[in-house]
Amino acid sequence: MKRREWNEEQLEKLLQQLPSIKDKQNPKDLYQSIFHKQQNRKKQRAWITPTIATVAAVLIFALISPYLFKGITRTNEESAMDISSTSSSELSKAENNPHEDTSSTESSSIEKNATGNLTISQEIKRDKQETFVTDSEDSENIITVGLTDNNLQNVIPISIEEEEDKEEMDQIKGFNPESIENQIGPLGFELKNSDLKRENNGEIIIDYKSETGSITGSASEVSYKESIIETFRWLGYKKANLYTNGNEGIEFGNTGKETELEISATRKKAYLVYQFDETKTKLLVPTRESLPSIKEAIEVMKQGNDIIELQPSIQSNIGEIVIEEDDELLEIEFREGSNVKDNEESIIMLESILLTAKDFGYEFVQFNGIEIEEIGVMDVTKPVEVPFSPNPIEGN
């Protein structure tokens, strides 16, 4: 069938034949109706978008929350373990080192900070040894014994408090170095096999007990004689009369038989530092050889003696030391920049100088060029009296 084509004029006539349609709505009502529909459509769109976003966020949180919670738990556990391990390590140190230093102690505590979180605070206290000598005022209550190191290289004077209910000679003979080994390390006492008897004329009888009847070996011979001197010179004895098993004289392998030994309070020796290891107390030790002058003694104190394991007693940062001698007074001047402080090194240096000065016959030392008034127990603004003896050690 052939398709009929319509022209514009025919369409216009056809439309005119259609019945008329008239909108009976009030124009104002029609406008309000359209306006309300548009507002409701906007509200619906505004609600749908955040709702979808919220649902998505909830889903994401649900997925990651197990891992997040696990991480937080692990962090809290690690923090608790850190606190516990720190406290445990401090407790372990205290248990394993009950006598640790004499020079320093450390304590820790757990506190809450401003935000309420637990924190670990550490308080470090350093207790320096204030003196390495005994005061001259305490001489009546002090006994000094000369001990030897393991290699018989040095004789080390140790000062202990005298027991009231025990005779002086009995206390010296019965002294056991093992009682203070934890403080100073292993040392020997060469006079442990000798009987000791005091005489009224300022002399001492040494009766050596031996099956062989002699002392052989250079080191043993020197150590025995030095132990006698370093034990009795501090007590004012002038001479030791020597016996072997009740018979006069001691036979020494190198020098032959000797019946007496002179004891001098002033031996013109310099004082250096001996320390068995870093955990033990430092001790002030006289050199093996006498020195011609106090100036040469000061130089030796700067250098030490590595061969016999004695450290310098004068600090490496100390420059030139000017020495003035005036009868009983020795003046020591530290030049500018020496920076002498109130610490262990300076205490050892000044007290070593005091002991050395005593060995050369001085009674007082005036220290100049020190910017502070006190070092250890010493008032360095005025002449300092030389000490009675070195190395006060409390027995166990």
For residue range 178-213, what is the model confidence (pLDDT) as tens digits? Answer: 999 999 999 999 999 999 999 988 899 999 998 887
Give the Cα separation of 391 and 155 in Å (integer).
Answer: 12
Give the Cα separation of 232 and 85 in Å (integer).
Answer: 53
* Model confidence at 238: pLDDT above 70: yes
**Does residue 183 lie within any of the structural domains?**
yes
Among 212, 241, 262, identify where a domain stops: 262
Range of the domain at 288: 271-390
Half-sphere exposure in the Cβ direction for 367 (13 Å, CA): 26
> End-to-end alpha-carbon separation of the chain, Å?
136
Residue 140 identity: E
Give the Cα separation of 10 and 162 in Å (integer).
Answer: 147
Q: Which of 301, 298, 303 is nearest to 333 (CA)?
A: 298
**Does residue 225 lie within any of the structural domains?**
yes
**Does residue 371 lie within any of the structural domains?**
yes
Q: Are residues 250 and 334 part of one domain?
A: no
Q: Are residues 245 and 291 part of one domain?
A: no
Q: Are residues 295 and 182 part of one domain?
A: no
Among 262, 281, 297, identify where a domain stops: 262
Q: Are residues 278 and 254 part of one domain?
A: no
- The 10 Å CB-count burial string (b at 16+, else e) for 12-24 is eeeeeeeeeeeee
Tokens of 283: 């001790």
* Model confidence at 52: pLDDT above 90: no
pLDDT in tens, 243-286: 999 999 999 998 999 999 999 999 999 999 999 999 999 999 99
Among 224, 241, 262, identify where a domain stops: 262
**Does residue 21 lie within any of the structural domains?**
no
**Does residue 180 lie within any of the structural domains?**
yes
Strands 104-112 and 118-126, by their bridges, are antiparallel
pLDDT of residue 291: 98
pLDDT in tens, 120-131: 333 333 356 899
Q: Are residues 114 and 66 part of one domain?
A: yes
**Does residue 309 lie within any of the structural domains?**
yes
Q: Are residues 281 and 218 part of one domain?
A: no
Report the run of H or E that residue 106 belongs to, with start and end: strand 104-112
Q: Is-contact 180 396, C-beta < 8 A?
A: yes
Q: Are residues 60 and 168 part of one domain?
A: no
Give the Cα separation of 241 and 61 in Å (integer).
Answer: 97
Tokens of 75: 């962090």
Percent of the chain with pLDDT over 70: 67
Q: Are residues 168 and 52 part of one domain?
A: no
Q: Are residues 290 and 197 part of one domain?
A: no
Could you tell me how many residues make up the chain? Answer: 396
Q: Are residues 256 and 300 part of one domain?
A: no
**Does residue 95 lie within any of the structural domains?**
no
Give the Cα separation of 323 and 135 in Å (integer).
Answer: 24
Q: Scanning the structure block, which residue is given the tokens 């140190």? A: 93
**Does residue 20 lie within any of the structural domains?**
no
Q: Are residues 241 and 281 part of one domain?
A: no
- Please tell me the pTM assigned to this model: 0.68
> Please, where are the H alpha helices in the chain?
8-16, 27-96, 168-173, 181-184, 218-232, 294-303, 344-359
Q: Are residues 278 and 218 part of one domain?
A: no
Total structural domains within the chain: 3
Tokens of 360: 């050369």
